[in-house]
Structure 1
Amino acid sequence: MSDLFPIPSPADWRVLAEKALKDRPLESLVHLDADGLAIRPLYAAATGGQPVSAPRPSDADGRAWDVRTLVEGDDAAAVNAAVLADLEGGAASILLKGAVLADSEPLARALDGVALELAAVGLDAGLDGPEAANALAVSAKGSPRARLMFHMDPLSAFAETGAAPRAIDEHLMLAANTAARHAGAYPEASFFLAGGRVVHEAGGSIAQELGFAAANAAALVRAAVAAGMTAEAALKGTVLGVSLDQEYFDGLAKVRALRLMWRSLSRAFGFETPAVIEARSSRRMLAARDPWPNLLRLTAAGFAGAVGGADAVVLDGLSRANGRSDAFARRQARNTQAVLMEEAHLGRVDDPAAGSWFLDARTRDLAEAGWGEFQRIEGEGGLIVALRTGDIQDRVAAARAEREAALASGAAQLVGVTKFVDPDPRPAPFEAEPPRPAQTGGDACDPLIPVRLAAPFETQTWEAGR
C-alpha cells in the first residue's frame, strides 16, 4: 500500500509550495492572529507537540450536548408559550431574559407547565442576578431535584455597561451570598456564569476572552468561599461562558482550550473538577441588513460548539441583530442544532478534534495565551481593579481596531456584507427590544461596548441605495 500511495515528507511539500509561490517567500504563508500567535501552513509530527485531550465530561441526558434556547420577553404569558413551544420543539433547557425575571410571580407564570426536574432553566439578568435567582428559587418550590442555573455574572454586566448602582465588590458579594443561601436547598443547581463573552462582543481576541473568563471564575469562587461555601461547591457551581463566531476552527479550539485552563484553575483551588461550558453564538458576527446569511454563520458557530465539546450550545435567531428572536427565528436556531446532532452525528465522538496536529497545536497555543492573559489580569490586581483602571479595555480596543482594519482593507471578509452582497435583501421577522434602563450611582468603569462588525459596511450600503 505504501508503494502505491507514498507518504509525502515536509521536504516534498516545501518543494511544491515554493514552486507555487514563485517569487513569494515560504514565510508569507505564516499568519499571526490578534494575539500574535502564529498559524502555519503545514502541521505534522515534526511540528506537533503532545496530543491534547479535552472531551466533554458526560452527556446531557443521552444527548451529545444540551440544546439550550434563549427566550427573551417581558410578558409572562407570551414567554410561557415560547418556552413550552421550544421544549416541545427539541430544546433541552431554557435561558430566560427580560422583565419576567423581576419577581417570582411573573417568573412562575412564565414557567407554568415546565418540569424543572427535567428541563434546566437558566437566567440572564445582569446586575439583577441575585434578585432573579431568588425569584427562580421561589418558583422551584424547594424541589431538591430542580435543575436551576442561576447564572449570576455581575462582573460581565459591570464591564459591558460600565456602571453599577452600588460598588461592584458589593454586587459580587451579594451574588456569592445568594449562592450560599440556596446551595443547600438546590443541590442540582449551578450558581455562577463565569463569562468571557463581554470581551468577545466588544471586539476582543480569543486569549483576551479566555483570560477574562478565567479571572471572572477566580473572582466568583473567591467570593463564594468568603460567603461560606466550600471551594469544591463553588467550583462545581460555576459554568464557563464563551462566544463562538463563524471561524469554526478557532471556535472549537477555544472551547477545548478553556477546558484545559479550567483544569489548571480548579487545581489551584485544591479541587480538580470538570469544566461545564456554555457556548453562545456571537452577536458581533451578525448582519442586520441581510439577515439570511446569518444562518450560515450560526451553523458554523453551532458546529464549533459541538465539535469543540461544549456542554451546552445557545444559538441566536438569524434576525437577532435587529431585535429579539421571534418564534420563527428560534425554530431555525433549534433546527440547526437538531441537524448537527441527529443528522450530522457530531456528538458520536467524545473529542473529534483530538489527534489533529493543527487543532491540538491551536488548542495549546490558545490555552497558553489565555492563561497568560489571566495571569496579567491577576497581576494587575484582579478583574475588578483591571476594569476600573481600564487596562483590559485598552487591550480589547487594540484587538478590535486590528480586526476592523482587516475588514476595511479587504484582508478579511464577511459574506453578504463585504463580499457577495445581495443588492435587494429580504427582511426576516423579529420582535422589538425595549431599551434597558441605566443602572448607575455606585461604581463605574470604561464600558466594553458590544460592536457589530457588519454595521459600518451596512451603513454605506444603505446610503448608497438611497
Structure 2
Amino acid sequence: MDMPQDRSSTKAPPERLLAEFPVPSLEQWYQEVVRLLKGAPFEKKMLTPTVEGITLKPLYTADDLAGLEFPTVMPGDSPFPRGTRLLGFREGAWLVAQELPYPTYDELNAALRFDLDRGQTAVNLLLDRATQAGLDPDMAKVGEVGAGGTSIASLIGLARALDGVDLEQVPILVQPGSAALPFAALLVAYLRRHRKDVTKLRGSLGMDPLCGLVSLGKLPVSLGRAYDELTLLTRWAAVHAPAVATLAAYGFPYHDSGASAVQELAFTLATAVEHLRQLDRRGVDVETAARRTLFGLSVGSHFFMEVAKLRAARMLWARVVRASGGSEAASRMTLHVRSSSWNKTAYDPCTNILRATTEAFAAVLGGCDSLHVAAFDEALGLPSELGRRIARNTQTILRDEVHLDALVDPAGGSWAIETLTAQVAEKAWALFQQLESAGGMLAAIEKGLPQRMVGEVAEEREKAFASRRESLLGVNVYPNPTEARPVRRQPDYAALHAARSARLQALRCSQEHGENVRVLASLQHILDSRSDELFESLVSAAERGATIGEFAKTLRTGDAPGPDVTAVRIHRAAEPFEALRAKVEQWRESQAGGPQVFVAAVGSLAELMPRIDFTRGFFEVGGLAVDASATFATAEEAQAAAVGSGAPIVVVLSTDERYPVLVPALAAALKAARPEVLLVLAGYPKEHIDAFKPVGIDEFIHLRSDVHATLVALATRIGVRS
C-alpha cells in the first residue's frame, strides 16, 4: 500500500482554532499568575523542589527542549528514549508478570495456574531467602525457609511448582539470588524431562550479586566465585538459551530504602557496568553480556518523574554499551518494572490500589517490557486472591480498555516529560561518574558510598512525612479511625521449616540420591572448565535428585563468604506512623474506654471548624480517640466538659485573637482540677509562647509540627509503652 505523500510544503497552514482570541505570551501568563498569588512569592508557591535535585515548573513550553537532540529520535532508534521497538507495544504488549510469593510450591502452582488463566502472561518466580542463599531447608534457619518467596530445593519441587505451565509458550522471570547456576540446572532438567525445547525458553534467570550484597550486607559466596558461576551460566545460555537473560541489575533495594529516582537509576546503571567489567575479565565480551542483561527498576508515586526515569534509563544504558564497544542491538535495554513497596501502607490498604494504578500507568508510558503491580494488601504479607485479582486486572484494563498497547510512545513530545527525561539523565550520569571515580560500584559499596547517599535522602523524605509536608493517605493524613488493626498474613515459619526439612531428608534417603552424590563428587575436578561440561553435569545431577544446597556446597568448596558491607535499610515510609498507631491501639484495649483527646473549643463552629478538623486529624493518625463533638460559648463550659471527659490530653482550641485572654484562665483552671492532664494548644502564636508555657500548656500543634515526634512524646506521657 502506498504511503500518503507529504504535501505540507504546498498546502496552506490550517486556520488556528479560536483565532479571534489573542495568544498570550509566557510573560503575560507569568504576570497573571503573580496577580492571582496576591503577593505570595512565585518561586515558593509555583516551583516544586524534589529530592532528585530537580525543580518542577508549573508550565513547560517548547523552549524547554531547546538544545536537546533526543526528542527528535523516533521509536526504536538509539538511544531509545521512546522505546527499543519501532512500533512499541503494537509489536506485542508488555508482559503481565505478577509476583506470587507463596512459601510452598503447591500454593504457588495453584495461584500461578489460576492467574495465568485470568490475564497473567509470564511466570515471575520469587525464591525464598534460603534458596537464594544456596541452602536446602534442612541447612537453613527457621525464618529463612519460605521467607519472601517459594522454597524449591529439587527437581521434584520445581516440577510441582510449574505443573501445567508450558514454558515454551510462557516466559519465566526468576530472581535467584546467589543460586542462579544451580537453579538454572534444575530448570533445564525440568524442561528436558518434559521434552521441551530449551532454545525456546524466554525470560530471565538474572543474577545480581551486588543486589544481594547491598541488601543483606554479605553474600554466602565470595564475589569472585559468584561472578565465576555467572560467567559459566552466561556462556552456556548464549548458545543454548539465547532468549534468556542471565545477568541482572536491580534497583529495588535502593528504591525500597528511600532513594531518589536519580540515585536508583545511577546505582543500577553502575551495577550493570560492574557486571560487564567482571565478565569481561573472565572472557565474556560486552556484546554477549549486554544482550543478556535485565534491568529491574521500581516505580513510585511521582508520576512524571518515574516516566522520565525509565526513558532516561534506556538512554544511559545505550550510551554505556556503545562506549564499551557493543552494537546498537546490544544496547537495547530489557526493562522489568515493579510498583513501589516503599510507599505502600498496612493501614487503609485500599489506598494502595490507587497508588499502584498510577505506578502501573507510569511504567507502561515509560516503556517497560514486563511489569509487576503490587497487590493492595502486599504490605500485610502474603497477597489475598482479591489483591492479586485487582492488581492483575489493573494491567488488563490499561491494555484492553485504555488501549495503551495501541499507541507508540504516548508520552513522546510532552514538553514536561521530555525536559524531565533530560534532567534525570544528566543528574544520574553525573552520579554514575562519581561512582566510577570511586572505583566502580563494587568499590563504592565496600566504602559505603551509595548506602550513605540513600540514607541521607531517606532521612530527608522521612522528615517530610513526619511533618506532613509529604502525604501518605490513610497514614499521616486522613486516617480512618474506625479501621480495625491490620492482620498480617505470614507463614508459620517453624512448621514450614520442619515440613520442608523432613521432605528433603526423605529425598536424601532415596537410591537415586546416592547416584547424584557421586555425580556431584566428580564436579570437583572440573570447576574451572569453560566448556558445557560442568553445566551438563549439573543438569545430570539435577535429574537424579541433586538439590540446590548440594550444588552450592559442591561448587563452593574451598570458597569463603563475600565481604561484609553496610546494608541499605529496606523499609516502608509508613512504618513509623504504623508502629505508633499499633502501640496506641493495643494500649487503648487495656483502658476503660472514652476519648484520649478532648477538644475544648471555645467559639462558634463556623469559625473554628478548620482548626478542629486539623486537630482531629493530627491525633487520629496516631490512633488516639478524639472527642471534638461540641464547641463552647465560654471557658467555664469548656473546662467543665474537659474535666468530665476524663481524657488524659485536652486541646485548648480557639482563635488566635482570643488566646491571650482565654489560655491563661482556662489552662490554670484545668490544671487545678486535674493536675495530671496534658494541655495542648492548637496553633502557634509566636508572641505568646513563652507566656503560655508557665500557665500549663505542655505542647503546641500546628502546620509545621513534627507530627510523629509530637505524638510519640504525648503517647509516652499518657502511658503508651513500646
- TM normalised by structure 1 equals 0.94
Gaps in structure 1 of 5+ consecutive residues: none
- The correspondence for 1:65, drawn from 70, 83, 94, is 94
Q: Aligned-pair distance for 1:299?
A: 0.6
CA offset digits 1:19-72 (Å, max 9, x no partner): 122222222222221132221222112233335352232457954311111122
Letter in 1 for 2:571: V
Determine whether 1:56 maps to 2:56: no
- The correspondence for 2:111, drawn from 82, 96, 106, is 82
CA offset digits 1:178-227 (Å, max 9, x no partner): 22233311112111221112111111111110011111111222233334
State the SS of the aligned residue for 1:95: strand
Q: Aligned-pair distance for 1:427?
A: 7.4
Check 1:172–1:148 CA distance in 2 against 1; reply closer, same or farther (3 A cut). same
Check 1:262–1:346 CA distance in 2 against 1; reply closer, same or farther (3 A cut). same
Gaps in structure 2 of 5+ consecutive residues: 1-16, 74-80, 127-148, 498-551, 553-559, 589-722
Determine whether 1:103 maps to 2:132: no
- Aligned position for 1:234: 289
Whether the 8 Å CA contact 1:60–1:66 is kept in 2: the answer is no
Q: Percent identity?
A: 30
Partner Cα distance (1:157, 1:37) in 2: 30
Letter in 2 for 1:274: R
- Aligned position for 2:323: 268
Letter in 1 for 2:23: I
State the SS of the aligned residue for 1:191: strand
- Aligned position for 2:568: 448
Larger deviation: 5-14 or 126-135?
Answer: 126-135
Cα RMSD over matched residues? 2.3
- Aligned position for 1:93: 122
Q: Aligned-pair distance for 1:431?
A: 4.3
- Aligned position for 1:113: 164
State the SS of the aligned residue for 1:203: coil
Q: Aligned-pair distance for 1:415?
A: 1.3
Letter in 2 for 1:457: F
CA offset digits 1:390-416 (Å, max 9, x no partner): 011111111101111111122111111
Partner Cα distance (1:76, 1:157) in 2: 23
Partner Cα distance (1:120, 1:232) in 2: 23
State the SS of the aligned residue for 2:481: coil
CA offset digits 1:361-418 (Å, max 9, x no partner): 1011101111111111111111111111101111111110111111112211111112
- Aligned position for 1:38: 55
Whether the 8 Å CA contact 1:219–1:383 is kept in 2: the answer is yes
Check 1:431–1:228 CA distance in 2 against 1; reply closer, same or farther (3 A cut). farther
State the SS of the aligned residue for 2:53: coil
State the SS of the aligned residue for 1:102: coil
State the SS of the aligned residue for 2:465: helix
- The correspondence for 1:128, drawn from 175, 179, 197, is 179
Q: Aligned-pair distance for 1:433?
A: 4.8
Partner Cα distance (1:147, 1:442) in 2: 31
Partner Cα distance (1:231, 1:441) in 2: 28
Letter in 1 for 2:379: A
- Aligned position for 2:556: none
Q: Aligned-pair distance for 1:2?
A: 4.6
Letter in 1 for 2:380: N
State the SS of the aligned residue for 1:192: strand
Partner Cα distance (1:55, 1:280) in 2: 20
- Aligned position for 1:289: 347
CA offset digits 1:302-325 (Å, max 9, x no partner): 011011111111112111111122
Partner Cα distance (1:105, 1:379) in 2: 48
Q: Aligned-pair distance for 1:164?
A: 1.2
Whether the 8 Å CA contact 1:137–1:182 is kept in 2: the answer is no
- Aligned position for 2:413: 355
- The correspondence for 1:18, drawn from 18, 26, 34, is 34
Higher relative contact order (CA 8 A, sep 6+): 1
Stretches of 4+ aligned residues off by more than 6 angstroms? 427-430, 434-437
Partner Cα distance (1:5, 1:435) in 2: 70
Output aligned runs, 1:399-414, within 5 Å: 399-414=457-472
CA offset digits 1:116-174 (Å, max 9, x no partner): 12111111222223322332232232521111410211211111111112322332332
Output aligned runs, 1:131-210, within 5 Å: 131-141=182-192, 143-210=198-265
- Aligned position for 1:309: 367
Q: Between Structure 1 and Structure 2, how many residues are aligned?
A: 465
Partner Cα distance (2:26, 2:568) in 1: 44
Whether the 8 Å CA contact 1:326–1:429 is kept in 2: the answer is no
Larger deviation: 75-84 or 61-70?
Answer: 61-70
Determine whether 1:335 maps to 2:386: no
Whether the 8 Å CA contact 1:101–1:135 is kept in 2: the answer is no
Partner Cα distance (2:469, 2:376) in 1: 25
Check 1:427–1:4 CA distance in 2 against 1; reply closer, same or farther (3 A cut). farther
State the SS of the aligned residue for 2:200: coil
- Aligned position for 2:438: 380
State the SS of the aligned residue for 1:11: helix
Whether the 8 Å CA contact 2:90–2:407 is kept in 1: the answer is no
Q: Aligned-pair distance for 1:434?
A: 6.7
Partner Cα distance (2:360, 2:438) in 1: 35
Q: Report the structure number with the largest CA radius of gyration.
A: 2
Whether the 8 Å CA contact 1:258–1:367 is kept in 2: the answer is yes
Partner Cα distance (2:466, 2:110) in 1: 43
Partner Cα distance (2:485, 2:100) in 1: 21
State the SS of the aligned residue for 1:144: helix
Check 1:175–1:326 CA distance in 2 against 1; reply closer, same or farther (3 A cut). farther
Letter in 1 for 2:39: D
Larger deviation: 420-429 or 81-90?
Answer: 420-429
Partner Cα distance (1:464, 1:408) in 2: 17
Letter in 2 for 1:106: G
Partner Cα distance (2:64, 2:90) in 1: 39
Q: Aligned-pair distance for 1:429?
A: 8.0
